[in-house]
Every structure is written in structure tokens, then in C-alpha cells.
Structure 1
Amino acid sequence: MAKFIQTPETFFVEEIPLAECCGFGNHLWVTFSRKSMSTFFIASKLKNILKIKETEIGIAGNKDKLATAIQTISLPSRLEPKIFNAFKSIGAEILSAKLHNEKLRMGQIAGNKFKILIDIFSREDYENISEKIDDAQKKGFPNFFGPQRVSDEHSIEEGKKIFLNKSSKNGNRKNRFLVTVFQSAVFNSYLKNRIKKQLYPNPIIGDVVKIGEKLVVLSDGLKNRGEWENEAILTGPIIGSKMILPLGDPLTLEKEAVEKYGIQFDEIFLSRARGSRRECCSKPKEIAIKIISEKKVELSFTLQKGSYATTLLKFIGVETAIDKRGKED
């Protein structure tokens, strides 16, 4: 079986910006390259070096620590004279810095480009990867959150307490992230159950589906539209007080996923977390596979924001492991 060992030398990720900077404003959008440091680690270091509040730093997404990553952070433009030395001191390289009239917000990216080096042990490994990645491009793969997000049971439990407003911890960036860890675990449980019940990837009556940019509850009337099967994308719960709810059997499935974690479904409406919906299927784009040597291939692709490269690798039959060496946060 092909194998991927994640290190900064084998895992490359680059954010795809959602929009161009306007060239003026009170925020400086800094695009930079870094290795072996998480996004939260960098934000924390910059906060201390530049002596600013955490809320003055804008982040679109958290990139893996064990990666070579290109991403963007926004900072107050008044700090521009100090920014080059600040990034240099933490081992990050600035690639560009542009003014904009808005702070960068979480999720404000179009997607991510990946380049991954995979070890292969036979011609069959290469052929299997090629076949399965083509299948993923045509049909998609289950959009599970990766182990980077949900493998730590302690973090899931802490996130649940904060989600239920039963923790004394304040609302800083790290604790907001812990809430997303809990929400991600619930989503993964829901999606796993749908697959087990053979209710993936196609939606059923009562599901919340995405058609274009709109979220709607799938009804008999909508089903009678000619091509709804090709238009409607199944979504799952990112639980919270303002989440759009499904009806009927799909609602029962979501209740089961929540109650698995020892809370009553109605409790989610008391949370400060607003909640949202997440597409249950993700399709990679711009796929290319290149032979580097007899024992190594390079796989490159683009994923929509929020989708995990490690989830795709698992789907195409690549064993994954993490090299835990490197800087500690």
C-alpha cells in the first residue's frame, strides 16, 4: 500500500484568495511562507512581538503545523514598518503585503492548493492511486474532518463544555477553535452513520441541501423539478443555535449524532455558537500525478475550503502517518 508520512518536506499547501486587496485601508494583508509552525502559533507570536490585541489579527484558516504553507494574515496597517522584522524573527518569509479596507475573516478563502509526496512500493500502488483519484474527481469523496481536527478526545470534551456554556474559559481564538473541534466530531459521526445506512451521497426528502449558493430543505415539490439530483448537494450539521434544521428522518439522524456525545438535541439552541451546514461530499480539482522516482510520486490537487487532504488520501487508499518531529507550539 502507498504511504504518506507528513512532514514540511512532503506536505505543501497554499491558500487560494477569495478576492484581491483594494490597495487602501487600515488593514495590511500579509502573504507569507512558513514551515513547522501552526497558524495559531504564528498569530500568538505576532501578538506578543507587535504588542497588539488578538482581535486585531485576521486569519482565514488554520494550516497544518507539519507543512510548508503559504497563507495570509491581516494586521493593522499602522504596524507596516515593524512587520518585516516581526515575521523574520519567527522564521516566516513575507511574500507580499497589500492594503485592504477590511480585516481578513475566518473562512475568507476560495480553497487550498496541495502538493503531496507519496511513497509507493509497486507499479500497482501507482495505478491504484491514479484510478481512485480519478474516481474522486468524478464522484467526490466523503467530506470528513481530518484527524488533525478530531483525533484528540480531550479537546472534543473541552470543546463540548465551551459549546454548552459550561466552561469558565474565555472566548479567545484557541477556545473558539475547541468549539469547532466538538462540532467537527459531531459532523463526522453524522456522516459516518449516513454512509453506514447507505444514505450517502444522495439526499432524501427532509435533508438540508445546497443548490447554487442557497440552503433549502428538500421537499416533494423540489424533488419533482427535473434535474434536482444533479443540483442538490447534501449537507450535514455544524451544530449551533442558528443552524438550519432538516425534517423527518434526516432530523432523526442529526439528533442521533448529537446525543452520541451525551447531550440533548435541544441544548444546541442554548449555545453561543451559531452553527452552519457543511457539504457532505467534496470533489478535488486540478489533479495531477507525477512520478518523481521509482519509489515516490507527487500528487497535486485543489480542494474547496474546509476539506482535508488527509481525508482524500485515505479515500484513495494511501496510508497516512505524521512525523512528530519539529518545533513545538
Structure 2
Amino acid sequence: MHITPLFETAFQGKIRKTPEDFQVDEIMNIPMDGEGEHQWLKIQKREANTDWVAGQLARIAGIQKRDVGYAGLKDRNAVTTQWFSLHVPGRTVEDIAVQLPEGVVLLEEHRHSKKLRRGALEGNQFTLVLRECAGDAEAFQQAVNKMAEQGMPNYFGSQRFGHGGNNIENAKKWFAGEFKPKKRPQKSMYLSAARSYLFNEILNARVQAANWNQAVSGDVLQFEGSHSWFVDEGEADIPTRVDSLDIHPTAALWGRGALPTKNEALALETRIAEQHEALCDGLERNGLQQDRRAMRVLPKNVVLQRQSDQEYALKFILPAGSYATVFLANCGEFVA
């Protein structure tokens, strides 16, 4: 889907010329027990997707793939570091490092009492190299600085929707009864794509209205660094708290139940839902419940360095579920 960039910056470049140009390091703050039924592994992978690596670890450990845990999916065309867990009660899988396929490296291993669950990470650090850059370098630098100070729209990235938006089209066909996904991961992928699409549509409308980072009447607001939210009942200090990045406006993650928004915010979300009734109905039929996601996210530890006339190094941290490609899309036009 199309997203409205925050800055109309005449700046272009290329990403992922090599996998090393796009590095992702998982940030996790879970103390290791040193004992327990699970063997946790810190893995670096190059040009490999997370699910495939999980399958390789299951093969090496002689366990079912469902007994391998990881916190989130990482890019394939990149060099990424993340944790996996193996459920191996009463034993330790030996010599894992020498059995791993090419491009997959074991960095650390520890024992833990619990399986690593999806979403159990604080965020990701991105280290990018932007090549063949051209255009208004000063405007690009200013856009990066402003997002570091004021935040950026928290769109779901295009990878959530599949190549050419195929995941959305397949979700529509499934909801219309034209076919049924055969496997649970495929079903989850289509549900996630449909839900993310609706969120992006609401956020995009707010960006176009220039109020995505402001509280409008009836907004649901989320605390910075938390998933907790509350409905704006007209408190006088709400605009100041939004401006100070203490709280953020949210948009719907669609599912069963009534929207918690009111007034102006409710009217917008209702209008978007009516435009995509089939997607909303499909999500509700499959048991998803109404939830919220912040429309604004604050990149942290942002560092931009110009390495040559046409090359930049860019480093920043985003919370789990936010996308480096969205950061780039808001400050220039970058293609792989």
C-alpha cells in the first residue's frame, strides 16, 4: 500500500547492496537462569530467514520445530543477530556450531527455565549503509534529525504485505470463500496482513490530515514504552503530554468488539472500516479482538554519518514491531 511520507525530501539512494549493508541486532533484557529445560542460543545469520534457521536448529537438536522459540522474524537479505531457544529437558545439544549451515553462526549459549516467546524483545538496533545517494543532503539530514527528536509514523512495513501486496489479496480471497489456507502459519500471515493494512489506512489518513502526532477528540492514547492505553476524556494536559512524547495517539488493530475511540477519532476509524468491510468481517470471524497500536514511534540513538559524497552510515534503535524501511521511506526514496 502507499504511505504518505512525513518529509517530501528530494534524496535517493540504494539499500541492501550487500547483506552487510543491512544489519539488525536484537535487543533483549532477559536474565539467563543458567539452568532449566531450554537451551538458548544467540545466532548470527546471513541471507537466511528466521523460520528456516529455526527448522535447522530443530533438525540438529532432534526436536519438533514447535519446540524452537524465537522472539520475532528478522530480515532475510541482511546480517541479523537474534536469540533462539531449544526445548531439550535433561540434556544439552552438543557441537551445535559445527553443524550449522553456511551463513549461520553460534555466538552464545545459555540454559533457561522458559521458552523464548514471540514478542519477548525490547527492540532492534539497525546499522545501515546507504549507497549511490544523490539529492538534497541537507534536507535528508534535517529529516533524520526531526524524526529523532519528534518521532515518526509507526506504519507497518511493506514486507508485512508480501511481494506486490499478495498477502492482502490472498486474505481477501480467503475471506470471500475462494480458498482456505491449509497451514496455520499461512493463516496467521494473512490475518496479520489484513489487520496491518487497516491500521496503515487509519494512520495514513491521520498523516494526510497532519494530526497523526496530535490528540484529536476521542482519541485513545498509549503511554511511551508501554502497551497500556486510555481514552481521552478531554483532560486539559493531554496536548502537552502528547507534545512531550509522554503519550501517543493510537489506531485500531481490528477485531471483535466495539472501538474504544469516541467523537472525531471514532468517526475516522468507522469510515475506514466501512471502506474495508470485508477485511473487518474476516478478522472478526477468525476470532481476533480489538487492540491498539501507537501511531507514533520514537527512534533512539540515531546517528547519521556521511562516509563519502554518495555513501552514508545510519544507525538507530526501534522498538519491537517497528520498521527500519519505514524510517527510510519517511526521509527519502531508497530502493534495494
TM-score tier, shorter chain, comes to 0.7 to 0.9
**Further displaced range: 228-237 or 183-192:** 228-237
2:69 match: 58
CA deviations 1:77-127 (Å, max 9, x no partner) are: 3463257158613531011111112111111111110111112546x6443
CA RMSD of the aligned region, Å?
A: 2.8
CA distance in 2, matches of 1:44, 1:172: 16
2:6 is matched with which residue? none
> Match for residue 216 of structure 1?
230
Contact 2:171 2:190 (C-alpha < 8 Å) held by counterparts? yes
Q: Which residue of 1 aligns with 2:47?
A: 36
Deviation at 1:48, TM superposition (A): 4.6
Distance in 1 between residues matched to 2:61 and 2:35, nearest whole Å: 21
**Paired-residue identity, %:** 26
The change in CA–CA distance for 1:28 and 1:130 in structure 2 (over 3 A counts) is same
Q: Does 1:146 align with 2:157?
A: yes
Matches within 5 A, 1:82-93: 82=94, 84=96, 88-89=100-101, 91-93=103-105
Aligned length: 319
Alignment-mate amino acid for residue 142 of structure 1: P
From 276, 281, 286, give the equivalent of 1:271.
286
| Residue 191 (1) aligns with residue 203 (2) | yes
Q: Distance in 2 between matches of 1:147 and 1:115?
A: 19
CA contact (8 A) 1:208 1:216 kept: yes
Which residue among 311, 320, 329 is the counterpart of 1:314? Answer: 329
Partner of 1:326 in structure 2? none
The answer to whether the aligner puts 1:106 opposite 2:118 as a matched pair is yes
For the 8 Å contact 2:157–2:323, the answer to whether it is kept is yes
1:291 equivalenced with 2:301 (yes/no): no
C-alpha deviation, 1:207, in angstroms: 1.4
- Cα deviation code 1:155-183 (max 9, x no counterpart): 11334566899964356334323321221
The gaps in structure 1 that reach 5 residues or longer are: 323-329
Q: Distance in 2 between matches of 1:25 and 1:159?
A: 40
Question: Residues of 2 paired with 1:160 and 1:99: CA distance?
Answer: 43
CA distance in 1, matches of 2:139, 2:20: 24
Contact kept in structure 1, 2:60 and 2:96, CA below 8 Å: no
Specify whether residues 196 and 121 from structure 1 end up closer, same or farther in structure 2 by C-alpha distance, changes over 3 A only: closer
Distance in 2 (alpha carbons) for counterparts of 1:207 and 1:92: 45
Higher mean alpha-carbon deviation, 32-41 vs 226-235, is at 226-235
3-state SS in 1 of match to 2:93: helix
| TM-score, normalisation: structure 2 | 0.84
Report if the CA contact (8 A) 1:258-1:265 is conserved.
yes
Structure-2 change in CA distance of 1:288 and 1:206 (3 Å): same
When the two structures are superposed, what TM-score results if normalisation uses the length of structure 1? 0.85
- Residue pair 1:45, 1:90 contacting (<8 A) in 2 also: no
CA distance in 1, matches of 2:229, 2:95: 41
